[in-house]
A and B are shown apart, each in its own frame.
Chain A
Amino acid sequence: MSTVLKLQNVSKAFGAVKVSDELSYELQSGEALGVIGPNGAGKTSMFNLITGALSPDAGSIWFNGVDVTGMSAAMRCRSGIARSFQIPQPFGAMTVFENALVAATHGAGLSKSQANEQCLVALEQTGLLAKANLLAGNLTLLERKRLELTRALCAKPKLLLLDEIAGGLTEKECHALVDTIKDIRSTGISIIWIEHIVHALLAVVDRLVVIDFGRKIAEGEPKAIMDSQQVKEIYMGIEVDG
């Protein structure tokens, strides 16, 4: 197994607020990593640092053995990092299919026919095929979340970053989503998934990282992490007596 992503002492602060504090971990090829932590812990900022929307104050980020710390967001996408957003941000005046096409042609660098093919496959996989010709601005919240996933997939990522993609879904929708993500994983794509819906997360991931105040406070096998008192205290906000 090779290392897909390596964060090495990555730090970032906005004024006095540290969103990333000496954060380090590795992700192996084909692995699915879950990230949990309280709101404001710096989980989404970590994604911004990995995709290049933010640049770290210190530390380095390695993708497939290449130091990408100084690389632009566009180049990182083209080299294989794609993400979905917690709050969906589709190109509202473009159709669902066009949204996907932008990622496929520019993110994955596919030719016209390959891009069309890739979009059809991704739309099928995420169940949006029937909505392909609607304006993305007219989609429901659930559909927008699916479009986030579709766009990320169309960029043909080697590493897929999912940001609270299960939030707001019904139990049934959540099951369908877990199945979709398992499918995606079976194609060899490495995944980092930030999620508050822990049971959905645990159905997919191999390992958990817990973040609080930008620091990694625990890392390891999911069950052991969820059972640890430290996580219960900090993440769940449960007071545990002696």
Chain B
Amino acid sequence: MDWVNAVLQGVLLGGLYALFAAGLSLIFGVMRLVNIAHGDFIVLAAFLGLVVTTTLGMHPLAALAIVVPFMALLGYVLQRCILNQTLGNDILPPLLVTFGLSVIIQNGLLEIFTANPQKLSAGALETASIPLGGGLNAGVLPILTFAAAVAIIAFLQWIFYRTSLGRAFRAVSDNQDIAQLMGLNKSHIFGLAMALSMAVIAIAGIFLAVRTSFDPSVGPARLIFGFEAVIIGGLGNLWGTLIGGIILGVSQNIGAQINPGWQLLAGHIAFLIVLAVRPRGLFPRVDG
């Protein structure tokens, strides 16, 4: 039964990893930008949640109403003012600039909040669980996280394939020059994509902060989990990203079940196996 439990908890943990990965996958899909600062933005959102909950006395989930729009706006401004200038035929400038942002965010947070671990308190929600029979329990918070991941991916999928904005994303992603001749303002579209990515980052940050303690240095590890989930699932496929997150979560929990020290190692090994066997991921996007 311990093994069944490990798999169940791993699936739910996969929801959090999918949240880490969805925003990464989105902006890579739209503008081929690899955001090295992605994990640090997740941590930034977590600290923002901390400020909002402590100053306003709000529940962390209610704080989403402030953190999500703030991060989205930040994303739009960041894209228009900085990142758009780095995009071009060369893949190096965006990597360097986002790496620089990563360093700036980590040190900025360290300066303001010190290196002490912080945590958001969600009260009774943190310990609430639903008995599933046979000694199995599923925490309400992990279930909520997983549900949020599914809902967000469904929402992003809907935007991409059912709305005018989504067609603009896909058109720009396909051929920027032609898209501009069709009346699309590339800079604005990229700004909106980054805003959407940062909104997802905000949600990921809050769920992370409620689930575990965090400090300014934990961003890069979240980035790695996000990358692994995206690549396991297949680049450009959002549902694949969810599956990738689940595979990563399950592998980590099974590893931990074998030996508590093997948790992270097992996740990375699962990633390496997928990379070796299916380099394009399990569910690569099929281009027409």
Contact = CB atoms under 8 A, between A and B. Distances in A.
Interface of A: 51-53, 72-75, 77-78, 82-83, 85, 89, 91-94, 98, 101-103, 105-109, 112, 135-138, 151, 155
Contact of B288 (A92, A103, A155): A92
B30 to A, nearest CB: 13
- What is the interface of chain B mostly: helix, strand, loop, or mixed? helix
B181 A102 contact: no
Chain B residues touching A, range: 10 to 19
Given A93-B288, A137-B288, A109 B174 contact: no
Contact of A93 (B164, B174, B185, B186): B174
Contact of A102 (B182, B185, B186, B288): B182
B170 interface: yes
Contact of B183 (A94, A107, A138): A107
B126 interface: no
Interface in B53-87: none
Contacts of A151: 182
Contacts of A98: 167, 170
Contacts of A83: 181
Contacts of A51: 181
Contacts of B177: 53, 73
A74 B288 contact: no
B179 interface: yes
A155 B180 CA distance: 12
A51 B180 CA distance: 10
A137 B186 CA distance: 22
Given A72-B180, A75-B185, A106-B164, 15 more contacts: A53-B177, A73-B181, A74-B183, A77-B181, A89-B175, A91-B170, A93-B174, A93-B287, A101-B164, A101-B167, A102-B171, A105-B167, A107-B183, A136-B288, A138-B288
* Residue from A85, A89, A102 having most chain B Cβ neighbours under 10 A: A102
Contacts of B183: 74, 77-78, 103, 106-109, 155
B168 interface: yes
B183 to A, nearest CB: 3
B184 interface: yes
